Amino acid sequence: MDMKIEEKIAAVVAESIWQVSGQQIDPASIVLQKTRKDFAGDLTLVVFPFVKALKRSPEQTAEFLGETLVKRIIEVEGYNVVKGFLNMVLTSGFWLEFLAGEAGNDRFGYAGEEQGPHKTGNEKKPVVVEFSSPNTNKPLHLGHIRNNLFGYAVSLLLERTGNKVVKVNLVNDRGIHICKSMLAWMKFGRGETPESTGKKGDKLVGDYYVIFEIKLRRQVAVLMAEKGLSEEEARKEAPLMQEAQSLLRRWEARDPEVLTVWKQMNAWVYEGFNATYKRMGVAFDKTYYESDTYLLGREIVLEGLREGLFYKKEDGSVWAGLSEHNLNEKLLLRTDGTSVYMTQDIGTAQLRYDDFLPRKMIYVVGNEQNHHFNVLKKVLGKLGKPYADAIQHLSYGMVELPQGRMKSREGTVVDADDLMDEMVATAQKTTEELGKTQHFSEVEKKDLYHVIGMGALKYFILKVDPQKNMLFKPEESIDFNGNTGPFIQYTHARICSVLRKAVPERLKQALNSLDGMSLNEKEKQLLKSLYDFPDVVLEAATELSPAKVANYVYEVAREFNQFYHEYSILNEPDRGISDFRLLLSQLTATTIRNGMALLSIDVPERM
RNA sequence: GGCCCCGUAGUUCAACGGACAGAAUAGAAGUUUCCUAAACUUUAGAUACAGGUUCGAUUCCUGUCGGGGCUACCA
């Protein structure tokens, strides 16, 4: 493929300024953007940065560059100048050539094998993306949904732009939290199992975590009343908490009785998690368990201690001093020798590095842990680990409810399974009300409701800039009209309906009809938007922001609907125009499908 | 207290330092003998406040106010 039109223009601009003024301009100062809808033109160059070099007014600068560009680049057929903005008009031929070139390309927007990053040296090393990272003491909730969808979409974005990606999950299966669930089950569970209760495994274990907290709270209340302790002191001294800590020590000592219970309860949880992941449509290439990595972490910490990088306090606890980074000292091993989160993460990072020799390790973890990852990188740096700088904490914002953060203690947690159930149920209800599925089989219906319900949920989550906190209103947040997943899915289904009605041969032959075609405004606007797709994907991948894709695809769908409303495709009497519109519709469908696929959202052919 | 993030229509979200700040939803008014009305059209409505840098600031800097997070021998 030859040089992109944007590159040609930039090159001519830089060259002509150099010829006239003898000045090299900064390539970054050449700002080319889509012409805004209220002005005539296709591409706009902002000329303010060049007025000094050319010693002319903005208008004169724009005129000069406009004339030069029209002369030197055949695709530029005209221009107009508004203030300091040079609006260029590209030929219809240019747009039609683009359409002809991409028509029928199912991978439109994705990097071809040859287009990926240069497969040499560092670039061929994989990127490891960690996401999900659940604890085994409670079921997945709305926060995990954002994490999973975000992490999975980022992985897809990197993959489709030519990177080798390894998706990993890190299950936090050890530590005080799971001991709490275990203890409650051992003391109060009377041998309950998922089978005996009919509960999903992760739900059952989560229930015992709640039971622990309830019983603990009672003990704390008693201690506060009888001994006059503060809540904090009472929590520490409460027998249940003591027992949980003792359980953790027995676990780390590999007490067989404890290990048996632990394995059993975790197995229940994994079964539950896997069902949820499957439904959500996310998958991993490898799953790490912290029970497998914390010992390595402890080893590394102890080695650091021997080398004098860390220090031990009188009570036996081990710390990293980080005052050189203006950070407080960080605990690495507790007084009783057990590991903390940081210890595990040190081991996990090492293992992951050894496994994949990645050029980058991305951790998709909420922004509440910004500090933690900052410290992790510093500690690994102190240890002289080569991968300390390869770690990137891809931090994202919280999902909030109208009453604020989700709090498991206050029972405001939105359960992932429940939410997905609701979405699918709403999809079914809405679809039935519209009477659209009379001719669907039962299997097709079930499939469609799942696709629409999940599409609504996923789009709602992913369209928001990941850096920002987002608000979820249980009763009204997820709509099926407007800027939503189902709107986009519907647009796709509409296009498929048209394409089905066309004779298949027509699409192949249609390419011959394009010569000399002139485009109306809506057609051109839609085609211009489609032209942007590959750049949007690249930008989204660079910024690790699936939201860019989501908002873009919506824009395309909206433009198609406007075009569709105003013009006929199959009923257009002029065969050439009809053919062109078919190709335009087909590429729109491909763009929607490929864009939504980056968000792990399926698009139905009928709905 | 210290450090970090965020303040855009009633509400939920957009906007590489670029033109008159875009959508959706809720509100008002319309469109279907025609390829799927989950659509389309019209209408009204916003950059928290005060300075600064710049030809140009929602965007960058400073301060004020408001919201959130972190600052654990929790994860």
pLDDT per residue over A289-338, tens digit each? 999 999 999 999 999 999 999 999 999 999 999 988 888 999 999 998 88
Residue A70 contacts residue A76 (beta carbons within 8 Å): yes
What's the whole-number mean pLDDT along residues A581-597?
A: 97
Helix, strand, coil percentages, rounded to 5, for chain A: 60, 10, 30
Q: Where are the beta strands (DSSP E) in A91-185?
A: 127-130, 165-171
Rounded to 10 degrees, the C-alpha dihedral A493/A494/A495/A501 comes to: 100
Distance CA A155 to C1' B24 in A: 28
Cα gap A463→A458, rounded to integer Å: 8
Is residue A118 over pLDDT 50?
no
C-alpha to C-alpha distances, A280 to A114, A146, A397, A412, A547, nearest whole angstrom: 32, 11, 20, 21, 18
Model confidence pLDDT, tens digit, residues A127-171:
999 999 999 999 999 999 999 999 999 999 999 999 999 999 999
Nearest-5° Cα angle at A557, A500 to A423? 90
More confident residue, A582 or A27: A582
A558 touches strand B (CB under 7 A): yes
A568: nearest nucleotide, CA–C1' criterion: B35
Rounded Cα distance between A157 and A596, Å, is: 11
The one-letter amino acid at A328: N
Strand B nucleotides, any atom under 7 Å from protein beta carbons: they are 4-7, 11-16, 18-20, 23-26, 34-41, 55-56, 68-75
CA–C1' gap, A435 and B27, in angstroms? 28
Nucleotide with minimal C1' distance from the CA of A552 is: B14
On the question of pLDDT at A117 being above 80, the answer is no
Query: Measured from the CB, is A569 under 7 Å from any atom of strand B?
Result: yes
* Mean pLDDT value across residues A40-61: 93
pLDDT at A445: 96
Measured CA to CA, the distance from residue A51 to residue A66 in angstroms comes to 14
| Residue A121 banded pLDDT, cuts 50, 70, 90 | low
Is the sign of the CA dihedral A21, A26, A30, A31 positive or negative?
Answer: negative
Confidence check: pLDDT of A232 > 90: no
Residues in a beta bridge with A391: A361
d(CA A554, CA A144): 25
User: CA A174, CA A340: separation in Å to the nearest integer?
Assistant: 10
In tens, the pLDDT along A29-45 reads: 999 999 998 899 999 99
Q: What is the pLDDT of residue A510?
A: 86
Scan for tokens 């040609």, then name that residue: A8
**Structural domains for chain A:** 5-90 (3.30.1360.70), 128-172+285-414 (3.40.50.620), 174-281 (no CATH), 416-598 (1.10.730.10)
Residue written as token pair 């650091």: A304
Residues 14-33 of A with CB under 7 A from strand B: 31-33
Q: Is the torsion defined by CA of A177, A183, A188, A190 positive or negative?
A: positive
Q: Is A474 helix (H, G, I), strand (E, B) or coil?
A: coil
- pLDDT tier at A1 (50, 70, 90 boundaries)? very low
What is the pairing mode between strands A399-401 and A32-34?
A: unpaired
Estimate in Å the CA A465 to C1' B3 gap, whole number.
24
The CA distances from residue A527 to A24, A545, A562, A580, in Å, are 35, 24, 13, 11
Query: What was the pLDDT predicted at A112?
Result: 64
Q: Which nucleotide is nearest to A245 (CA to C1')?
A: B73
Cβ-based neighbour number of residue A440 at 10 Å:
16
What is the tens place of the pLDDT at every residue in A248-271?
999 989 999 999 999 999 999 999
Q: Taking phi first (over 0 means left), then psi (-120 to 50 degrees means alpha), and beta for anything else, what does residue A131 get?
A: beta
Is the CB of A474 within 7 Å of strand B?
A: no
- Residue that has been written with the tokens 């003591």 in this structure: A242
> Rounded to an integer, what distance in angstroms lies between the CA atom of residue A160 and that of residue A150?
15
Contacts of residue A556, Cβ cutoff 8 Å, sequence gap at least 6: A526, A529, A530, A533, A588, A591, A592, A595
Region at A396 (left for phi over 0; alpha for psi -120 to 50; beta for the rest):
beta
- Tens of pLDDT along A543-553? 999 999 999 99
For A343-373, write each residue's pLDDT tens digit: 999 999 999 999 999 999 999 999 999 999 9
Pairing of the two strands A318-320 and A165-171: unpaired
A562 closest-nt by C1' vs CA: B40
Q: Is the CB of A544 under 7 A from strand B?
A: no
Q: What percent of chain A has pLDDT over 90?
A: 83
What percent of chain A is predicted at pLDDT more than 70? 98
What residues are paired with A171 via a beta bridge? A289
**A77-93 pLDDT, tens per residue?**
999 999 889 999 999 99
pLDDT tens readout for residues A481-523? 999 999 999 999 999 999 999 988 888 888 887 888 899 999 9
Q: Which nucleotide is nearest to A456 (CA to C1')?
A: B38
Which nucleotide is closest to A484, CA to C1'? B24
Q: Over range A17-25, report the average pLDDT.
A: 91
Check: CB of residue A176 under 8 Å from CB of residue A338: no
pLDDT digits (tens, 9 = 90+) for A419-459: 999 999 999 999 999 999 988 999 999 999 999 999 999 99
List the structure tokens of A3.
């040089």
Give me the A residues in range 312-351 that sit within 7 A (CB) of strand B: 313, 315, 317, 328, 331, 334-336, 340-341
Q: Identify the pLDDT of residue A129.
A: 97
The more confident residue out of A530 and A504 is: A530
Cβ < 7 Å from strand B, A residues 71-100: 82-85, 87
Half-sphere exposure of A406 (CA within 13 A, CB side): 20
Asked whether strand B has any atom less than 7 Å from the CB of A44, the reply is yes
- The CA–C1' separation of A482 and B40, in angstroms, is 12
pLDDT digits over A202-212, tens only? 999 999 999 99
Residue A55: phi, psi to the nearest 5? Answer: 55, 45
Within 8 A by CB and 6+ apart from A249, the residues are A336, A338
Q: How confident is the model at residue A417 (pLDDT cuts 50, 70, 90)?
A: very high
Asked if the model's pLDDT at residue A607 lies above 70, the reply is yes
Tokens of A414: 């939105």
Whether A477 shows a pLDDT value over 90: the answer reads no
**Strand pairing of A360-366 and A391-396?**
parallel
d(CA A126, CA A224) in angstroms, rounded, equals 54
- Contacting residues for A314 by C-beta, under 8 A, at least 6 apart: none
How many Å apart are A87 CA and B35 C1'? Answer: 35
Protein-nucleic contacts, chain A 232-291 to strand B, CB < 7 Å: none
Q: Which nucleotide is nearest to A607 (CA to C1')?
A: B36
| Separation between Cα atoms, residue A192 and residue A42, nearest integer Å | 67
